[in-house]
Structure 1
Amino acid sequence: MTAVPAVHCQLLAHCQPLDGAQGVPTVPAQRKARREYENQVDGHPSWTGPADAPGTAVAVDCLTLKSNSRLSSLVSPEKTDLRREAGRRTRDDLLAAALELLAQRGQEGVTLREITQNAGANVAAVSYHFGSLKALCEVTIEHALERYLDAQIRELDALGGAATLSELAEAFARPMMSALAAGGRDLAVIRIVARVGIEPPEGWERLAGKFELARRQAVRVLAVNLPDIDRHELDFRVRCAAGMLNWLALAPVGAELATEPADRIERMLIPVVAGAFRGAR
């Protein structure tokens, strides 16, 4: 035992009876383990309390130990902080592993074992932090979508009232172009966004407000540049431009484009998006 014996005795005192007392049935295997633990406490060289202090009169199941403020006070704040930090790291590692696999295969192609192996975590960690594989995937997708939409909304919101179609196209495609140039985690986020855009998962409506805000901002600039086109058609063009970017993130041509320098990505992509906004004349 590595803790002070008195601490172990306090833990034992707050455990649940197992010897049939108070209507609790006897559990032989757990009672045996409890008594072995008591013997270690009794036999510890630094234990000087009365012989019956830890005692064997009441056998308890330490597996059913209930947390309370008195027990929490037995654990140092430093150890508590270290455990919390380790928990945060595990949660972040699971999200990162899920992000990478979801970007490659989509939600249907991801397994719990692969995620935990890539994260260096055990299967129980997924249940502890998220509840299930489905919930982990949903949280990962939602984070990716929010990250993309927030970046796109910031770019569109910065456009002035006299912005041109090329400037609109640059702002609209900026998150995609940045991810293609950066690669790695940024590109994984974009690919998840692209998969969701093509095949929206259940519950994605939670972010419908942000999708709508991005479209409204784009339509606002389009309406100034194309006053003869009705709003419904302008909204359609924005949706088409978004679909084109989603396809690009997943198609082989997108992988080819990702090998180009950032300035060349912009020169190649901005006119294409601007053309989708402008339409035929």
Structure 2
Amino acid sequence: MGHREDLLAGAKACLLEKGWVRTTARDIVAASGANLASIGYHYGSKDALMMAAFIKMTEEWGDSMTRALESGAPAGASRAELLTAKLDTLTAGFEESRRFWELQLEVVGQLGSNPELKKWFAGVFPEGRDGMLTIFEGLGRPADEETKRTSGAFYHALFIGMWVQWVIEAESAPTGAELVEGMHRVLAGLAAGPSPAPAGGVPDGREG
């Protein structure tokens, strides 16, 4: 590998070991065997190099997860069973890439003080929603804008909620079956149960 690739590999290793805030340019140089000047030459700055490394890790995770989901789909499964299996496969992927998802949470925490990183996150939302449609619906082509804004946004929100809950406390994170059951309950209006009668036993504030 050349210095550019060495730096990228070194930055990836440092991010996983030390995180976004604690990684320094000297750490990356030590891990890559390159030199400080090469960071500016190839990437412009340490932050640009770390962003490139973070993007690369995200792409690599997406590729590996797509393969896992394709190989793990049960034959002849119902829509609910298929979605349950995919959600459980995603959760298993969090465990296999624990440090990467902890890093994701740290990086999100930097968005308020890093405009360039925030701009990048916002810029890849359409691509992220497309990726979620590929994961959950098996779409092998870019979706239209309406599908991205509805189904893609829903899957994206579900996925973000899944990994945040998992990183905070994996033991209490919902299973695929629980999430699918939750969707059924929300759509059927069963999430809250029947509304309690007000004090005095007169429903809806109307006199009997």
Give the Å deviation of 1:209. 3.9
Q: 2:58 corresponds to which letter in structure 1?
A: L
Q: 1:138 corresponds to which letter in structure 2?
A: M
Does the C-alpha gap of structure 1 residues 175 and 129 become closer, same or farther in structure 2, counting only changes over 3 Å? farther
Give the Å deviation of 1:118. 4.3
Rg comparison, structure with higher value: 1
Partner residue of 2:26 out of 113, 122, 134: 113
Matched, 1:250 2:163: no
Does the C-alpha gap of structure 1 residues 196 and 269 become closer, same or farther in structure 2, counting only changes over 3 Å? farther
Give aligned pairs, total. 170
Matched, 1:269 2:175: yes
Q: 1:273 corresponds to which letter in structure 2?
A: L
Q: 1:171 corresponds to which letter in structure 2?
A: K
Give the Å deviation of 1:168. 1.3
Q: 1:202 corresponds to which letter in structure 2?
A: K
What's the TM-score, normalizing by structure 2?
A: 0.57
Work out whether residues 191 and 246 of structure 1, in 8 Å CA contact, stay in contact via their aligned partners in 2: no
Partner of 1:139: 52
Partner of 1:168: 83
Partner of 1:96: 12
CA distance in 2, matches of 1:129, 1:143: 16
The CA deviation string for residues 201-260 of structure 1, in whole angstroms up to 9 with x for no partner, is 322345334312234357759xxxxxxxxx988666534421222313531x23x68xxx
Partner of 2:63: 150
Does the C-alpha gap of structure 1 residues 166 and 176 become closer, same or farther in structure 2, counting only changes over 3 Å? same
- Identity in percent: 15
Unpaired runs of at least 5, structure 2:
112-116, 139-147, 191-208
Give the Å deviation of 1:135. 1.0
Give the Å deviation of 1:110. 3.5
Q: 1:128 corresponds to which letter in structure 2?
A: Y
CA distance in 2, matches of 1:278, 1:109: 43
Partner of 2:92: 177
Unpaired runs of at least 5, structure 1:
1-84, 222-230, 258-264
Matched, 1:129 2:46: no
The CA deviation string for residues 8-39 of structure 1, in whole angstroms up to 9 with x for no partner, is xxxxxxxxxxxxxxxxxxxxxxxxxxxxxxxx
Q: 1:278 corresponds to which letter in structure 2?
A: H
Does the C-alpha gap of structure 1 residues 207 and 148 become closer, same or farther in structure 2, counting only changes over 3 Å? farther
Does the C-alpha gap of structure 1 residues 176 and 214 become closer, same or farther in structure 2, counting only changes over 3 Å? same
Partner residue of 1:213 out of 130, 133, 147: 130
SS of corresponding position for 1:201: helix
SS of corresponding position for 1:203: helix
Does the C-alpha gap of structure 1 residues 272 and 201 become closer, same or farther in structure 2, counting only changes over 3 Å? farther
Work out whether residues 84 and 180 of structure 2, in 8 Å CA contact, stay in contact via their aligned partners in 1: yes
C-alpha RMSD of the superposition? 4.0
